[in-house]
Amino acid sequence: MEPDLFREPLPEWEAACLCSETRFQGSAPEAASRMTGSCVSQFNPNSMTDRLKAATEARAAALARFRDRPAADDPAVLARKAERAQIAREREVRVAAREQARLEAEAQRAAEAEAERERQAAEEVRAAEEKVAQAAAARLEQKAQRDARYAARKAKARR
């Protein structure tokens, strides 16, 4: 199908709907009554006076809700306030307990890490002492072998 290059511009009410499945024929009110699909949300049949009236009613309702609110010294309000304060104090206690447990766990981990470092340091010292002892034993053995060779040479030379 060829595009219609010389088509007249769309009327304003028809151009508002750009979806491909809807095409309008006729006048704006007739087309508005036949609108379907995603175009429905783009068409607002309310007039300006309807919108102003709805806004005024909403403001009046909000003001009525505000006026119907109980006073600050009402017993129900004071009871709710006391209940909220109690909940806040309990929350603070729980937070403090969690913080204390976290600090204790952190101290425990630090103590365990320090004990591990001390164990590793002691292991390194023991390994170094063992290496020194092995080196001393190897030197003594080498000296004993050298002395044995020397004694064998002297004994051979005396014969």
Q: CA–CA separation, 8 vs 97, rounded Å? A: 76
Q: Token pair for residue 135?
A: 């080196």
Q: CA–CA separation, 64 vs 56, rounded Å? A: 12
- 12 — pLDDT class (breaks 50, 70, 90): low
pTM, to two decimals: 0.41
Q: What tens digit of pLDDT does each residue of 70-97 get?
A: 888 889 899 999 999 999 999 999 999 9
- 156 — pLDDT class (breaks 50, 70, 90): confident
Q: What tens digit of pLDDT does each residue of 114-144 get?
A: 999 999 999 999 999 999 999 999 999 999 9
Domain ranges of the chain: 9-69, 72-159
Q: CA–CA separation, 115 vs 38, rounded Å? A: 70
- Looking at the chain, the whole-number percentage of residues with pLDDT higher than 90 is 57
Q: What's the whole-number average pLDDT of the chain? A: 83
What pLDDT was estimated at residue 21? 47
122 exposed, middle or buried (CB, 10 Å; 0-12, 13-18, 19+)?
A: exposed
Tell me if 58 sits within 8 A of 71, measured CB to CB.
Answer: no
Bigger pLDDT: 8 or 76?
Answer: 76
17 exposed, middle or buried (CB, 10 Å; 0-12, 13-18, 19+)?
A: buried
Query: Sign of dihedral through CA atoms 46, 51, 57, 62?
Result: positive
